[in-house]
């Protein structure tokens, strides 16, 4: 019984695959001549900027440092205390940054997005009075 042309093509391909040498694997650790060398200080700086770019990222970094200090306290107590202090400092900095961002967003000139109405920017009065104004209003009501 004669073979179909598809079977003949399969046999040819199978023979070609069996006789071909295995493909060369490239060693990924070897430096490539076309790639520029990486500057590790720049990479570290980019990583740090990513970890401290927003207040939320700073809080996550502080939490990771505190949890790492908890696990390090099992074996390396001295190093764990340094990591815990670093986490507390990052947390305090994130808290301060969050307060300052919120304060600047409440000030009349520091609004993030202008309020638009019919295609024109309008100025709205501050919706929430300051702490000093609330205390003055409280004392005025008591009189």
What are the pLDDT digits (tens) for 18-71?
A: 666 666 666 656 555 676 667 778 887 887 787 777 878 888 888 888 888 888
Q: For residue 95, give its domain range.
A: 39-112
Buried b / exposed e along 10-31 (16+ C-beta atoms within 10 A): eeeeeeeeeeeeeeeeeeeeee
Contact, 61 vs 97, CB < 8 A? no
Could you tell me if residue 76 is inside a domain? yes
* pTM (global) more than 0.75: no
> How far is Cα 51 from Cα 87, in angstroms, rounded to an integer?
13
Structural domain tally of the chain? 1
Could you tell me if residue 55 is inside a domain? yes
| Gyration radius from the chain CA atoms | 32
Could you tell me if residue 18 is inside a domain? no
Q: Provide the pLDDT for residue 26.
A: 61
């Amino acid at each position: 019984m004669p073979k179909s042309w598809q079977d003949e093509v399969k046999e040819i391909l199978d023979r070609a695959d069996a006789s071909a040498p295995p493909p060369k694997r490239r060693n990924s650790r070897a430096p490539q001549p076309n790639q520029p060398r990486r500057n590790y200080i720049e990479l570290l700086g980019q990583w740090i900027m990513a970890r401290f770019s927003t207040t939320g990222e700073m809080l996550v970094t502080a939490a990771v440092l505190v949890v790492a200090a908890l696990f390090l306290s099992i074996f390396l107590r001295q190093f764990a205390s340094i990591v815990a202090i670093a986490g507390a400092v990052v947390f305090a900095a994130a808290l301060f940054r969050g307060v300052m961002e919120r304060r600047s967003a409440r000030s009349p000139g520091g609004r993030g997005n202008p309020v638009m109405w019919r295609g024109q920017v309008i100025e709205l009065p501050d919706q929430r009075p300051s702490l000093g104004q609330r205390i003055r209003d409280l004392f005025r009501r008591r009189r």
